[in-house]
Structure formats: structure tokens, C-alpha cells
Amino acid sequence: MTAVADDPYGCGSTQTYHKDRREVTCGSVIAEYMVSVEGITVTVVRVHAL
């Protein structure tokens, strides 16, 4: 998740419904998150265990 915090649009993430709604695999979980560009805030929407 540190990679997501450092570069929320990179880090191997993919866009889901909107460019600011992303999904990434971190170890054994899939995290869905939203990025707020104004405040550079990452909000985790859902975490799925693999």
C-alpha cells in the first residue's frame, strides 16, 4: 500500500469505472480505491482477500 500512497495512478494499478477509481493487487489482497487529486487523498473502497 506504500506504493499506492506514493503513486496512486502508477504502482501497477488499473482504472475501473473512472480514472480516479482504481484497483491494485497488493500481496494477497485486491484493493479498490479512489483518488482525490485536490488533496492527494487515497480512500480504500474495498479490500478482497485472494
Q: Residue range 3-28: average pLDDT? A: 86
Q: Determine the Cα–Cα distance for residues 1 and 35; give it in Å rounded to an integer.
A: 13
Structural domains in the chain (count): 1
Q: Which cell is 50 given? A: 485472494
Q: Residue 43: is its pLDDT beyond 70?
A: yes
43: containing domain: 2-49
Q: Which cell is 19 given? A: 480514472
Q: Residue 34: is its pLDDT beyond 80?
A: yes
Please indicate whether residue 47 or residue 17 has the higher confidence score (pLDDT): 17
Q: Residue range 10-38: average pLDDT? A: 85
Q: Residue 48: is its pLDDT beyond 80?
A: no
- Whole-angstrom distance between the N-terminal and C-terminal Cα of the chain? 16
- Note the pLDDT of residue 28: 81
- Note the pLDDT of residue 15: 92
